[in-house]
Structure 1
């Protein structure tokens, strides 16, 4: 192992959960972009300015969803790890870093 090599080990279930929350975050970001883009175009017409304003409000409110998704992911993964500990399963998430002192294994 080189001095700069970092090895991460995660369980299958944790990777699936991470991928799902990542996809949810991407969908959220796309919707935010759509609300702001459509709202911007609506401002070119005086008849649609009111609707455009509401799209900006919707997009701004949806910006609050981003940290909620991240927090939900952290809570979900924390519960997953806690269940694994209670079941007596060894911790699946470990980091191996050759720069660390001792064995080089740092539990996460």
Structure 2
């Protein structure tokens, strides 16, 4: 078995940095979703703000679509790095 670090971490530092950035985006998105749902719940406690609460829930629900979008963007980004590294590895 080779001890070549490129076999252990084929994408290297660049991929780790990218993964961390996208993971931070996912965490920020999850935090905002929690905030929206909390605000919507509080708005529902006041009868005059029930309509506002409903719209905040709609916004929070739509924000659930952001998470898979972030992950899809991360996967595409990492795939491009893999392809670029594969091409550069083949180039003498």
Q: TM-score range by the shorter chain?
A: 0.7 to 0.9
Whose strand proportion is higher, 1 or 2?
1
| RMSD, matched Cα | 1.2
Q: Are residues 1:31 and 2:32 paired?
A: yes
Deviation (angstroms), 1:87: 1.2
Aligned length: 82
Q: What aligned pairs does 1:1-108 form with structure 2 within 5 A after superposition?
A: 8-9=8-9, 10-88=11-89
Query: Which structure would you say has the larger RCO, counting Cα contacts within 8 Å and 6 or more residues apart?
Result: 1
In 2, Cα distance between equivalents of 1:47 and 1:76: 46
Gaps of at least 5 residues in structure 1 are 1-7, 90-108
Query: Runs ≥4 in structure 1, deviation > 6 angstroms?
Result: none
Whose helix proportion is higher, 1 or 2?
2
In 1, Cα distance between equivalents of 2:51 and 2:32: 19
In 2, Cα distance between equivalents of 1:50 and 1:83: 50
In 2, Cα distance between equivalents of 1:72 and 1:18: 11
Gaps of at least 5 residues in structure 2 are 1-7
